[in-house]
C-alpha cells in the first residue's frame, strides 16, 4: 500500500567474489538457433563460455517452467532462442513461444528478476554472428548485475531448513 517503489531487497548475502562466472542456460531450437550456434563455431567466432546450451526440436517445446526451474536452481540468466516468425521448421511452433515469453518475462519482472537476465531472441541458421554477439551481450549484462543464486537466497529466507525432524515411523 505504501511501499516504496524500489523495494529494498532482503538479500543479505555477500557480494560475488572476483572468480565468479555468470551461469546462463540457453534453450535453443534444433533447426534454426542451434544450427546458427554451430555456424558461429564453424566460423571460429569467439564468445564467452557462460551459456550452456540445451537443445529442443522447436522453441515451441520451451515450457515457461523450464525457465523458472533454471532460475530456481541457480542460473544467473536464461536465454531462449527460436526461428524467426515465418521460418519455423514446424510452421507455427514459434508463434506459441512468441506469446509465452513476454508473459513469462512479466512474471519474472514482478518477482524481481532483472529483465537483462532473461532474453528471448530469434536466431536463424545463418545468424552465427548474431548468436555469438548475443552470448557476449547477455554474459556481460548478467556479469554486471551479479549472481542471482536463487537457491542461496531461498536458504537465507529459511526455505528447506529444520528438516532434521523425522516423520512418524521413520
Q: According to CB under 8 A, which residues from 80 to 109 bind other proteins?
A: 85-93, 95-96, 98-100, 102-104, 106-107
Helices 35-42 and 128-145 sit at what angle, rounded to 10 degrees?
Answer: 100
> Which helix (H) or strand (E) covers residue 138, if one does?
helix 128-145
Among 22, 32, 71, 142, binds other proteins (CB under 8 A): 71
How many angstroms from the chain centroid is the CA of residue 11? 20
- Comparing C-alpha atoms, which of 112, 107, 104, 117 is closest to residue 22? 117
Q: Does 146 bind other proteins (CB under 8 A)?
A: no
Residues 3-62 that bind other proteins (CB under 8 A): 3-4, 7-11, 21, 23, 25, 34-35, 37-38, 40-42, 44-49, 52-58, 60-62
Number of chain positions touching other proteins (CB under 8 A): 94
Q: At 11, is the secondary structure helix, strand, or coil?
A: coil
CB of 103 to other proteins, least distance (A): 5
Residues 103-142 that bind other proteins (CB under 8 A): 103-104, 106-107, 110-113, 132
CB of 118 to other proteins, least distance (A): 12
Query: Between residues 95 and 143, which has the closer beta carbon with respect to other proteins?
Result: 95
Q: Does 160 bind other proteins (CB under 8 A)?
A: yes
> What is the C-alpha separation between 1 and 112, in angstroms, rounded?
18
Q: Is 116 exposed, middle or buried (0-12, 13-18, 19+ CB in 10 A)?
A: middle
Query: Between residues 72 and 141, which has the closer beta carbon with respect to other proteins?
Result: 72
CB of 40 to other proteins, least distance (A): 6
User: 26: which strand partners?
Assistant: 53, 79
Among 68, 119, 123, 139, binds other proteins (CB under 8 A): 68
CB of 7 to other proteins, least distance (A): 5
> What is the C-alpha separation between 130 and 138, in angstroms, rounded?
12
> What is the C-alpha separation between 138 and 75, in angstroms, rounded?
13
Amino acid at each position: 500500500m505504501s511501499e516504496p517503489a524500489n523495494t529494498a531487497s532482503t538479500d543479505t548475502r555477500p557480494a560475488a567474489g572476483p572468480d565468479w562466472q555468470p551461469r546462463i542456460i540457453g534453450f535453443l531450437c534444433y533447426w534454426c538457433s542451434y544450427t546458427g550456434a554451430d555456424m558461429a563455431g564453424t566460423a571460429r567466432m569467439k564468445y564467452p563460455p557462460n551459456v550452456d546450451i540445451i537443445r529442443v526440436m522447436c522453441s515451441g517445446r520451451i515450457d515457461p517452467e523450464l525457465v523458472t526451474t533454471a532460475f530456481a536452481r541457480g542460473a544467473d540468466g536464461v536465454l531462449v532462442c527460436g526461428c524467426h516468425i515465418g521460418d519455423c521448421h514446424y510452421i507455427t511452433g514459434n508463434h506459441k513461444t512468441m506469446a509465452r515469453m513476454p508473459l513469462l518475462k512479466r512474471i519474472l519482472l514482478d518477482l524481481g528478476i532483472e529483465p537483462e537476465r532473461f532474453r528471448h531472441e530469434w536466431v536463424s541458421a545463418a545468424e552465427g554472428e548474431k548468436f555469438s554477439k548475443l552470448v557476449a551481450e547477455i554474459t556481460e549484462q548478467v556479469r554486471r548485475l551479479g549472481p542471482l543464486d536463487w537457491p542461496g537466497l531461498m536458504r537465507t529466507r529459511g526455505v528447506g531448513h529444520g528438516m532434521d525432524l523425522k516423520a512418524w515411523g521413520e
